[in-house]
């Protein structure tokens, strides 16, 4: 339990106290003093804390609008951070120190968002207005067996991004991470309908990892069977085939780590002169034991 709380908060005092208060006093199961606080209860408390965006978390929005914060967080989200800082690098040292002092990032051992809760809150905060403008119907992408039809959802996003991607991505102050943020805003409907999305990104990863989790039994929720699927987001930095080759290895590795056989690789080609007819494609690739859907856009 202690390891879980520290892992989710990195010891940030407000987050630790807020998680404890939510689990012990706000949640009905926690108020029953005859039952111990379980890891499941604490995980539920984490989700409620993120969804509710209490004052401390809500105030992050103001900090995220600051130019010096944008310079650091935007490049972590888009993974365009250089491996060095200083006079000859793209990140001024005083900006890096400022954002680290705010508690938003960790600089050692690797430059990354400070903790898993902030990894969830930051993209949700950045995409909030986009989320509310995207239609949130759920029935069309839930199959009769209660599983998410992710290929259908990704096909819808592919068409949406083709029609609106540039204009929507440019709405964000964090333009370098625009495609990833649009995708996460689109997928937020899954969270709003009872699912979860865990995010991983950081210096040198050259991708954003999304783990979609969808409970298959409404009565049991996340205490029962859960569909898990990996969605890997990559920006095209080299040739398409080299990007896909690298992305397949990364997607398969993440699938192995989270224990799922459902994975998808999304490649965003931001080259202005390349027509959409060449950017848009769908294909299946075999990587080891995994069959991975590859989507270009």
Domain containing residue 17: 2-57
| Domain assignment present for 86 | no
282 against 272, higher pLDDT:
282
Q: Are residues 149 and 41 in the same domain?
A: no
Which pLDDT score is estimated for 85? 45
Confidence of residue 228 (pLDDT cuts 50, 70, 90): very high
Which pLDDT score is estimated for 211? 94
CA distance 177 to 80: 9
Q: Are residues 121 and 258 in the same domain?
A: yes
| Domain assignment present for 125 | yes
| Domain assignment present for 213 | yes
Residue 204 has pLDDT above 70, yes or no: no
| Domain assignment present for 100 | no
50 against 284, higher pLDDT:
284
Select from 11, 34, 57 the last residue of a domain. Answer: 57
Q: Going by C-beta distance under 8 Å and a sequence separation of 6 or more, which residues neighbour residue 187?
A: 153, 157, 197, 210, 212, 231
45 against 206, higher pLDDT:
45
Q: Are residues 142 and 9 in the same domain?
A: no
Q: Are residues 52 and 122 in the same domain?
A: no
Phi, psi of 243 (to 5 degrees): -65, -45
Residue that the structure tokens 């859907």 belong to: 293
Can you give the pTM of this predicted structure? 0.79
Q: Are residues 24 and 141 in the same domain?
A: no
Q: Are residues 281 and 138 in the same domain?
A: yes
Please spell the DSSP secondary structure of the chain, one letter per residue: -HHHHHHHHTT-HHHHHHHHHIIIIISHHHH-TTSPPPHHHHHHHHHHHHHHT-HHHHTHHHHHTSHHHHHHHHHHHHT---S--STTSSS-HHHHHHHHHTTSEE-SSS-EESSHHHHHHHHHHHTHHHHHHS----GGGB-TTS-B-HHHHHHHHHHHHHHHHHHHHTTSS-GGGHHHHHHHHHHHHHHHTT-EEEEE--TT--SEEEEEEEES-TTTGGGS-EEEEEEEEEE--S-HHHHHHHHHHHHHHHHHHHT-S-EEEEEE---TTS-HHHH-EEEEEEETTEEEEEEE-
Q: Are residues 34 and 130 in the same domain?
A: no
Give the least confident one: 35-39, 53-57, 73-77, 225-229.
53-57
> Nearest to residue 72, comparing CAs of 99, 94, 101?
99
Q: Are residues 125 and 43 in the same domain?
A: no
| Domain assignment present for 268 | yes
174 against 209, higher pLDDT:
209
Which pLDDT score is estimated for 134? 72
Q: Are residues 128 and 34 in the same domain?
A: no
Q: Are residues 165 and 282 in the same domain?
A: yes
Question: What are the distances in angstroms from CA 13 to CA 27, 60, 63, 125, 166?
Answer: 20, 16, 18, 21, 39
Residue 184 has pLDDT above 60, yes or no: yes
| Domain assignment present for 141 | yes
Q: Are residues 20 and 141 in the same domain?
A: no
* Number of domains present in the structure of the chain: 2
Q: Are residues 6 and 136 in the same domain?
A: no
Which pLDDT score is estimated for 170? 66
| Domain assignment present for 93 | no
| Domain assignment present for 102 | no
What are the tens digits of pLDDT across the range 113-138? 999 999 888 888 887 777 766 766 66
Select from 57, 76, 93 the last residue of a domain. Answer: 57
| Structural contact between residues 91 and 71, judged by C-beta atoms closer than 8 angstroms | yes
């Amino acid at each position: 339990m202690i390891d879980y709380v520290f892992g989710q908060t990195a010891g940030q005092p407000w987050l630790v106290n807020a998680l404890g208060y939510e689990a012990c006093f706000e949640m009905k199961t926690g108020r029953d003093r005859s039952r111990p606080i379980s890891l499941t209860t604490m995980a539920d408390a984490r989700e409620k804390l993120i969804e509710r965006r209490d004052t401390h978390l809500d105030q992050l929005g103001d900090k995220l609008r600051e130019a010096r914060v944008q310079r650091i967080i935007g490049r972590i989200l888009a993974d365009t951070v250089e491996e060095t800082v200083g006079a000859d690098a793209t990140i001024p040292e005083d900006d890096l120190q400022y954002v680290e002092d705010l508690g938003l990032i960790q600089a050692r051992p690797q430059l990354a968002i400070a903790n898993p809760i902030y990894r969830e809150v930051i993209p949700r905060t950045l995409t909030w207005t986009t989320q509310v403008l995207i239609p949130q119907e759920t029935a069309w992408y839930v199959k009769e067996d209660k599983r998410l039809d992710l290929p259908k959802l990704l096909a819808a996003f592919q068409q949406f991004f083709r029609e609106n991607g540039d204009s929507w991505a440019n709405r964000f102050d964090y333009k370098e991470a625009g495609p990833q943020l649009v995708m996460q805003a689109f997928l937020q409907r899954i969270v709003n309908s009872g699912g979860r999305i865990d995010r991983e990104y950081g210096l040198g990863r050259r991708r954003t990892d999304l783990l979609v989790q969808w409970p298959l039994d409404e009565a049991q929720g996340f205490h029962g069977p859960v569909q898990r699927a990996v969605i890997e987001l990559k920006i095209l930095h080299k040739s398409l085939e080299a990007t896909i080759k690298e992305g397949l290895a990364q997607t398969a590795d993440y699938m192995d780590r989270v224990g799922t056989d459902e994975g998808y690789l999304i490649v965003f080609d931001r080259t202005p002169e390349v027509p959409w007819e060449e950017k848009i494609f769908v294909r299946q690739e075999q990587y080891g034991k995994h069959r991975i859907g590859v989507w270009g856009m």
